[in-house]
Amino acid sequence: EKQKRIRNFAIVAHIDHGKSTLADRILEMTDTVSKREMKAQLLDNMDLERERGITIKLNAVELTYHAKDGIDYVFHLIDTPGHVDFSYEVSRSLAACEGALLVVDATQGVQAQTLANVYLALENDLEILPVINKVDLPSAEPERVKQEIEDVIGIDTSNAVEVSAKSGLNVDKLLEKIVKFIPAPQGDIEGPLKAMIFDSIYDDYRGVVLSVRLYDGVVKAGDRIRLMNSGSEYEVTEVGVNSPHPIPRDYLMAGDVGYITASIKDINETRVGDTVTKANNPTAEALPGYREMMPMVYAGLYPTDNAKFEDLREALEKLKLNDAALEFEPEVSQALGFGFRCGFLGLLHMDVVQERLEREFNLDLITTAPSVTYQVDMSDGSVVEVENPSEMPDASAIKDIKEPYVKASLMVPNDYVGAVMKLCQSRRGDFVTMEYLDDTRVNVIYEMPLSEIIFNFFDRLKSSTHGYASLDYDVDGYRQSDLVKVDILLNGDKVDALSFIAHKQFADERSRDIVGKLKGIIPRQNFEIPIQAAIGAKIIARTNIKAYRKDVTSKIHTGDPDRRAKLLDKQKRGKKRMKSVGKVEVPQAAFMAVLQND
Ligand code: GDP
Ligand code: MG
């Protein structure tokens, strides 16, 4: 039976432990891609992924493995991102698989995301096959790392394979292990179609392309399918697999991972986590679907050109198909005009969304400083959720403000525990406990405000531990804090997009800092611009940007009209990312100044 020859597995690991490189070797050794096509981190096919050297999107590929028993097995391999912001991609990948390769760097051992991924795999009842990677490096300690996996994670490592994803050493052994160790899917091919949408993307020609895992039944072109959550029906135009390029197939069956197109143009009808079935023979029950993700941070996204508002809406809708964690709703800012308040899983996610909107949809955007969601208890007994600092109600009407807290797990070598605790303390952290992972490393647990973790914390952690610490966190409820809203006034006008929330104790210092930063960022204009920070009516910091009188072009004495034109052009392009706020031209960087609170 065909299903017995299928193996579905995801590759999970802490960032940089070698998932994408291992996927490369597997693709290469199974001749899925030709030598000519092969390049490093092949599955990271977005420009953004290649430039940054990180995986952002899950990627499912089908390949054929000719095993030692003489049988050809069909593997569906899903490469996943390692960064905490993209763990939603990982959890969906895992739901489409029976097993996971847990890659652990032999020079680094178990890290915070290693553990987080193991929990996700266990939640999905997956078989976990440990893969000890980078054994080619002189500092590799595969035995110690295996012991650590047993002690810290509590999974058996007798099946672990020691590989070098870079050189390909032992990857052949790993392929055999996958066949033996990871169970075949056990769907009912005869039953009614039951498939889970785990990803999707909008294609201008084919409409929505659904990435699916089939649990029961068969699907082929011409079938009438129903999306169970939305109830909408479509006729399938094509089914196929990515290998890694799309290859149309006659049908997909229970156990398969592939794609379905059905000329779906209405973006709002498709949702990741929905179940696909057949209209004439529907399955009785939908699959459980995925946990909805709660955004951790919110920021405003505004087109630099106000006329592009509808374009931005369309772009966000299309991008959401491929980024299920993205949330947005329209908002209006006095300073920036019409835009959207968007919810993200973290700052990297926010950064990636902005870049994808600009690159894939050709937009120029201004992002405002991100903020967490505050819960405000009003004096009249009502509760207000505030996602935008400028909408914080007047202090006189507020009883108290609660902010989200996280439980943070920091894995660090013993030598850096002091530095890490100092950092956490400076970010309003409360120490919870400390567990020894082995005699060289510790897992330190802190409870901290989410806002303190989101802004710059990770970079600071890396620099104060020479890159040796790893971090994972989960939201852990709301707590009352002594918070105030600080407004920024430019030329006497309050700029709503620059308002921020700070802890009372740090409000003065941060305000002085931000006012100083804005002075450096906002270009001089031909009049003096006062910058002020205020809590309510009370000014707590101020400075002035001096007037600038000279005409830039007057500096060019050559009178070369070509050079003059070029200079003006350059100035114009520099202005693209500017917004006129009242009479003042404000560049993008100004809106981010509130972030750099160091
Ligand atoms: P990912 O974040 O888990 O997908 O990691 P990548 O596959 O992008 O690899 C991160 C870095 O580790 C890259 O620079 C790889 O070249 C390197 N790397 C991956 N596997 C090995 C290995 O087996 N040996 C060595 N020496 N380097 C490796
Ligand atoms: Mg990767």
pLDDT of 536 > 70? The answer is yes
Six token digits for residue 440: 């060289």
Which residues, at least 6 apart from 572, have a Cβ–Cβ distance to it below 8 Å?
none
CB under 5 Å of ion ligand 2: residues: 19-20, 55
Report the separation in Å between the CA atom of 463 and the middle of ligand 1, taken as the mean of its atom positions. 21
For ligand 1, atom 6: residue with the closest CA: 18
For the CA of 169, the closest atom of ligand 1 is: 23
Q: Which ligand is nearest to the CA of 18?
A: 1
Which residues, at least 6 apart from 342, have a Cβ–Cβ distance to it below 8 Å?
295, 298, 299, 300, 301, 316, 326, 327, 328, 350, 353
Question: pLDDT tens-digit profile of 357-383?
Answer: 999 999 999 999 889 999 999 999 999
* pLDDT, position 572: 54
Residue 125 labelled as part of a binding site: no
* pLDDT, position 230: 87
Report the separation in Å between the CA atom of 230 and the middle of ligand 2, taken as the mean of its atom positions. 33
Residue 31 labelled as part of a binding site: no
Q: Are 63 and 32 in contact (CB under 8 A)?
A: yes
| Cα–Cα separations (whole angstroms), residue 558 to 87, 554, 555, 571, 587 | 57, 10, 9, 19, 30
Report the separation in Å between the CA atom of 359 and the middle of ligand 1, taken as the mean of its atom positions. 27
More confident: 552 or 543:
543
Report the separation in Å between the CA atom of 67 and the middle of ligand 2, taken as the mean of its atom positions. 26
For the CA of 137, the closest atom of ligand 1 is: 26
Residue 18 labelled as part of a binding site: yes
Report the separation in Å between the CA atom of 98 and the middle of ligand 1, taken as the mean of its atom positions. 25
Q: Are 542 and 531 in contact (CB under 8 A)?
A: yes
Length of the chain: 598
Q: What order do you get walking across the sheet with 365-367 strand by strand?
A: 327-333, 337-344, 297-303, 365-367
Question: pLDDT tens-digit profile of 205-255?
Answer: 999 999 999 999 999 999 999 999 889 999 999 999 999 999 999 999 999
For ligand 1, atom 11: residue with the closest CA: 16
Report the separation in Å between the CA atom of 21 and the middle of ligand 1, taken as the mean of its atom positions. 6
Residue 17 labelled as part of a binding site: yes
Report the separation in Å between the CA atom of 40 and the middle of ligand 1, taken as the mean of its atom positions. 10
Q: List ligand 1's pocket residues with C-beta within 6 A.
A: 13, 15-21, 41, 55, 82, 133-134, 136-137, 164-166
* Angle subtended at Cα 252 by Cα 251 and Cα 254, rounded to the nearest 5 degrees: 140
Q: Which ligand is nearest to the CA of 16?
A: 1
Residue 466 labelled as part of a binding site: no
Question: pLDDT tens-digit profile of 95-136?
Answer: 999 999 999 999 999 998 898 899 889 989 999 999 999 999
Residue 19 labelled as part of a binding site: yes
For ligand 1, atom 24: residue with the closest CA: 134
Q: Are 367 and 588 in contact (CB under 8 A)?
A: yes
pLDDT of 551 > 60? The answer is no
For ligand 1, atom 18: residue with the closest CA: 18
Return the sign of the alpha-carbon dihedral for residues 466, 469, 475, 479: negative
Residue 21 labelled as part of a binding site: yes
Report the separation in Å between the CA atom of 23 and the middle of ligand 2, taken as the mean of its atom positions. 9
The half-sphere exposure of 100 on its side-chain side, counting CA atoms within 13 A, is 27
- H/E element holding 32? none
Residue 135 labelled as part of a binding site: yes
| Cα–Cα separations (whole angstroms), residue 301 to 305, 306, 336, 365 | 12, 12, 9, 7
More confident: 168 or 579:
168
For the CA of 17, the closest atom of ligand 1 is: 3
For the CA of 82, the closest atom of ligand 1 is: 2
Mean pLDDT, the chain, integer:
90
For the CA of 24, the closest atom of ligand 1 is: 7
* pLDDT, position 559: 55
Question: pLDDT tens-digit profile of 554-572?
Answer: 555 555 666 666 655 655 5
Question: pLDDT tens-digit profile of 465-519?
Answer: 888 888 988 888 999 999 999 999 999 999 999 999 999 998 999 899 999 999 9
Question: pLDDT tens-digit profile of 391-440?
Answer: 999 999 999 999 999 999 999 999 999 999 999 999 999 999 999 988 88
* pLDDT, position 84: 81
481 C-beta neighbours (distance < 10 Å), count: 17
Which amino acid makes up residue 477? Answer: G
* pLDDT, position 319: 94
Residue 390 labelled as part of a binding site: no
Single pTM value for the model: 0.86
Ligand 1 test: best mutation among 12, 14, 16, 169, most atoms within 8 Å of CB?
A: 16
Report the separation in Å between the CA atom of 53 and the middle of ligand 2, taken as the mean of its atom positions. 7
